[in-house]
Each structure stands twice: as structure tokens, then as C-alpha cells.
Amino acid sequence: MSLFLDTGVVVASHNVRDANHARALEIMREVRDGKHGTAYSSDFVLDEAVTLALVRTRSRDIALDVGRSLLPDRQEQGMVVLLHVDEATVRRAWASFVSRETTLSFTDWTIVEMVRALRIDWVASFDAALDSWVTRLA
């Protein structure tokens, strides 16, 4: 089993004012406990999550906590495998972004392409727009 963490879950787990905070904490506990097997995310999600946390909370400390949840100071402390979005994945994601009329962001398309390529079972996300493309855990 495997799970990919989307931006919204990571940010909501650190933002007590987020409507999905409680569920996000539950998902992160499940990840920590290994309930869904290997947990993945990506450098694109890291970028988006740190930026979104800073914008939504206006707190550098929360943004740093979000970043460290995906990129801890010591690699052995991590509970998430951080994947690099390579050029081939970027090109596939861009082709999907250009050719399909959906509300998915470009980062979402990189997630779709990575999940497909790596056969990751679930995407932990609060974004229902992903439902047509991946199996979502919300």
C-alpha cells in the first residue's frame, strides 16, 4: 500500500483554523503509524504547502513546521518520501493541464502523473476535483 500527501492535508494539519484540521491530523497520524504503507509527497507539494501556509496563516513558524513535516532536518526523522518531479513528469503534467478543461492546478497534474507512474494507491487530499483522476482518501 502507498499514499501520496497533497498540499491541503499537509497545510490543514498545521493550521488550527482550517475547516479540515481535525481530519488532516487524523490522516497524518495514520501516516505516522504506517496505516497506508509508504507515504510520498513531492518537491512541488513542498513548495506549494510552505507558500500556502505562509499566506493563509501569516506565520513563518507555521510555514517552517509545514516544510519540516515534508523535509525534516534529518532524513531519518521523515515519515514521508519526498519525490523529485522530473522533466518527463513535468511535460506529461503540462500536456494534461493544457489539454483538459478542469479546475486542477498544475501541481495537481504533477501529482496525478506521479501517482500513475509509480502506481501509488491513494492520494490524501481534500480536493474533490482529483476524483476523476486518482483514488482519493479524504
Q: Model-level pTM greater than 0.85?
A: yes
- Domains, the chain, ordered by start: 2-127 (3.40.50.1010)
pLDDT in tens, 77-106: 889 999 999 999 999 999 999 999 999 999
- The residue written with cell numbers 494539519 in the block is 13
What is the pLDDT averaged over residues 38-63?
A: 98
In the sheet where 81-83 sits, what is the strand order?
A: 81-83, 38-42, 2-5, 122-124, 136-137
User: What is the pLDDT at residue 93?
Assistant: 98
What is the pLDDT averaged over residues 57-64?
A: 98
The answer to whether 11 touches 19, Cβ cutoff 8 Å, is no
- Residue 75 reports pLDDT greater than 90: no
Angle made by CA atoms 116, 120, 126, in degrees to the nearest 5: 95
